């Protein structure tokens, strides 16, 4: 009697378990019937060292081709779209959808937003994931060259005048010299355009030899006169004695 009741109880539990399993399987199938995110390139939360040219996303089911029902958009760090708006389902693999990206994307975190329509049951789904671009920019090291080493600094150029400025200053000095000499040689009292018609006197420097010769001649002559007078007096005395 007890064994019969136990058998009936176990059989009842098995029927309940089968019933629950039968109900749970369709529900679980319905829950996973959407075309959800499966994998991608770049993958979710990946850090890439080079900006990709496109984003590829694989979903769990084939996608139904209907205009406006499937979308794949990429947004940059400033929340602006950086894709080429050319999202398309692959012809050979309908679980794959791709979109092209703009060139020279800066470093930062990018957001991929997707929307799908399942070809299996017609249900739609949407979601998003992120990836990071971290490109190491090369540091340009400035190496000194022979030309830069020989080039004078700004302070040296300020102290040393340049050859061009020196040549200009010398040219200006040469041009100003004749003008100064011409102004100095002119008589400030004589009006311009008129000549001095007064008597011209010889330059004392040029008549110095003549004056010296004339003075020597007069001095010699003055010395000769006393001697002539003496000689004339002696001759006169001799003439008186002879008489």
pLDDT single digits (tens) 227-240: 555 655 545 555 55
Confirm if 118 and 69 have CB atoms less than 8 A apart: no
Give yes or no for residue 214 having a pLDDT over 60: yes
- pLDDT exceeds cutoff 50 at 179: no
Ranges assigned E (strand) in the chain: 37-41, 46-48, 54-59, 71-75, 88-89, 96-100, 108-117, 124-133
Report, as an integer, the average pLDDT of 126-142. 85
pLDDT at position 88 over 80: yes
- Sorted by where each starts, the structural domains of the chain and their CATH numbers stand as 37-133 (2.60.40.1220)
pLDDT (0 to 100) of residue 60: 96
Residue 35 pLDDT:
93
Tell me the per-residue pLDDT of 20-30, one tens digit each, with 9 for 90 and over. Answer: 666 655 544 44
User: With 80 as the cut, is the pLDDT of residue 44 above it?
Assistant: yes
Question: Mean pLDDT, to the nearest integer, of 127-138?
Answer: 92
Element (H, E) at 120: none
One-character DSSP codes across 69-96: T-EEEEE-TTS-B-B-S--EE-SS-TTE
How is the chain split among helix, strand and coil, in percent rounded to 5? 40, 20, 35
Check residue 242 and give its pLDDT. 47
Min mean pLDDT across 72-81, 120-129, 219-228 is at: 219-228
Segment among 3-17, 65-79, 124-138, 150-164 with least mean pLDDT: 150-164
125-129, 138-142, 179-183: segment of lowest average pLDDT? 179-183
Q: Is 36 helix (H, G, I), strand (E, B) or coil?
A: coil
**Mean pLDDT on 179-194:** 45
Mean pLDDT of the chain: 74
pLDDT of residue 240: 52
| CB-count exposure of residue 56 (10 Å: 0-12, 13-18, 19+) | middle
* Least trusted range by pLDDT, from 19-23, 103-107, 167-171, 224-228: 167-171
Examine the pLDDT at 189 and tell me if it is beyond 60.
Answer: no
- What pLDDT band is residue 178 in, cutting at 50, 70 and 90? very low
Length of the chain: 243
The model's confidence at residue 213, banded by pLDDT at 50, 70 and 90, is: confident
Higher-pLDDT residue of 206 and 126 is 126
Q: What residues contact residue 115 under an 8 Å CB cut-off, 6+ apart?
A: 69, 70, 71, 124, 125, 126
Residue 22: the pLDDT is 66
Secondary structure class of 160 (helix, strand, coil): coil
Average pLDDT on 55-65 reads: 96
Q: What is the mean pLDDT of residues 176-194?
A: 45
């Amino acid at each position: 009697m007890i064994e019969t009741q136990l058998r009936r109880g176990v059989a009842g539990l098995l029927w309940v378990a089968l019933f629950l399993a039968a109900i749970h399987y369709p529900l679980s199938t319905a829950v996973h019937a959407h075309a959800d995110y499966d994998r991608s390139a770049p993958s979710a939360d990946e850090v890439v060292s080079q900006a990709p040219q496109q984003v590829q996303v694989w979903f769990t089911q084939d996608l139904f081709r209907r205009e406006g029902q499937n979308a794949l958009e990429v947004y940059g760090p400033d929340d602006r779209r950086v894709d080429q708006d050319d999202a398309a389902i692959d012809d050979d693999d309908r679980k794959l959808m791709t979109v092209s990206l703009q060139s020279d994307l800066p470093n930062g975190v990018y957001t991929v937003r997707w929307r799908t329509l399942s070809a299996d049951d017609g249900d739609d789904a949407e979601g998003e994931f992120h990836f990071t671009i971290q490109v190491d920019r090369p540091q340009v090291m400035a190496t000194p060259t022979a030309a830069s080493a020989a080039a004078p600094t700004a302070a040296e150029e300020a102290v040393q005048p340049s050859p061009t400025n020196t040549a200009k200053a010398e040219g200006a000095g040469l041009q100003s010299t004749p003008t100064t000499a011409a102004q100095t040689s002119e008589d400030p009292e004589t009006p311009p355009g008129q000549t001095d018609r007064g008597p011209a006197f010889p330059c004392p420097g040029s008549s110095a030899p003549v004056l010296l010769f004339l003075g020597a001649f007069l001095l010699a002559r003055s010395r000769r006169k006393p001697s002539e007078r003496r000689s004339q007096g002696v001759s006169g005395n001799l003439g008186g004695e002879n008489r």
